[in-house]
Structure formats: C-alpha cells, structure tokens
Amino acid sequence: MIAKKFRYALLLGVLAVVVTSCEKEPSLSSLDDDYLVYTASDPAADFSLYETFYLPDSILLIGAGDRTTYWSDRDAQSLVSAVAENMERRNFVRVDDRAEADLGLQLSYVEQVTYFVGYDRPYWWWYYPYYWSPGYWGDWLGWHYPFPVYYGYTAGSLLTELLDLGSETGFTSKLPVLWDSFIAGVVSPNKRLDLQRALRAVDQSFEQSPELAR
C-alpha cells in the first residue's frame, strides 16, 4: 500500500478526496482554509535508472472551451521553469527532443470544471476529449497508473505527471505514470499571489517526494 503525502499552507484549498491511504485522512472541513499538495509514485520505480526528461513549454488548460487550449504566458513559463529546475536539482537533464528523453513531464491546469479519476477507470479525464493524449508521447494505447488513485479535481487545480517514455509501446501497451502531483486551490482574486503560492507548492511537491532523484 502506498502512502499518500499531504502538505498544507495558508492558502485557499479545494476539496480533494483520496482513498487507499496509509495516513490518517485530514478533516474535510479544514481543507476550506488550506492549500493542498498531494503526490504519489510507483513504489516499484527506480528513478536512478532515468537520466533525461522532456517538458513542453506550455500548460494544458482543462475546461477552457470546446477545443484544446494551452496556457503559455509569463506565469505559465514560471511554473514550467519551476518544475524543470526541481528536476535538474535532482540530477535529471532536460532535453529539447522528446524522442531522446527517458521521462516525459506534462502540466495541466483545471480552469473551470470538475472531473473525477478512479482506480476502476485508470485514464485521467475519462470523458474529457482534449486532455494530454498518449499519442503525443508515442505509440501507446492509453495510460497506466501502477498505484491506486481516486480523487476529484475542481477549478484551480494544477496537475503534474511524470511518464516513463522508455516503456514498451504498441497497440495494447499503456504509458506508465511513475509520479504525479496535485496542487489544489491555485485560484484567488490576487493573481500575483496565486503565482507565488503555486510556485511554492511546486517546490513542495518535489520536497515531499525524496524518491524522485538520481
């Protein structure tokens, strides 16, 4: 059983329900006042075996409209850079060609809507047609999560997923997600403050994942 990891700061939170945890669940009422950072990883993954990673320079917006939309302004670049810098501090090397990368990183921001992810349906955003496609990364049928997940996302959630691009490909193969993070409550009336909160939360997601290093 994998232990889910939580971190709270004085930031606006959004309800997230996580089950199959080895830790005591927090009071749901307390999440109204807190900022939540959740991480989970494949317990069998040996991250020291990976060297390079590819990270797109934009963030997918979920719920932004009826077509695929990406967030790529200065704030988005700050978040992308924060993720890249955390990876590099853990001795991973960023490459410009995803075909040469051992790992892929994708960032998504839930702008307006709520979707649920369940262990019985291991695809993220099962009914959402514009989410990151495994085909973006290569010849994979779908997603594979080697750890149990079941939680809900609301507007203002930032998602990060780390993918094993060296896994077996083919019509019946699924792309493994080795690590993911969920940051709730990125939205507030003060956009400048939102960015600083989100950047601190990105750092925290890596801080509470010591296994993510080589």
Residue 25 has a pLDDT of: 44
Residue 43 has a pLDDT of: 94
Residue 186 has a pLDDT of: 75
Q: CA 117 to CA 182: how far, in whole Å? A: 12
Helix, strand, or coil (residue 191): helix
Residue 136 has a pLDDT of: 84
Residue 157 has a CB neighbour count (10 Å cut-off) of: 25
Residue 7 has a pLDDT of: 44
Rounding to the nearest 10 degrees, give the CA dihedral for residues 106, 2, 201, 155: 70
CA 37 to chain centre: 10
Tell me the domains of the chain and their CATH numbers. Answer: 5-207 (3.30.160.670)
pLDDT per 10-residue tile (average), the chain, 214 residues: 40 32 42 69 96 95 76 92 98 96 94 67 50 81 79 81 94 91 75 80 95 94
Q: What is the pTM of this model?
A: 0.79
Helix axes of 191-207 and 74-89: crossing angle, nearest 10 degrees: 20
Q: Looking at the DSSP assignment, which residues form a beta bridge with residue 161? A: 106, 180
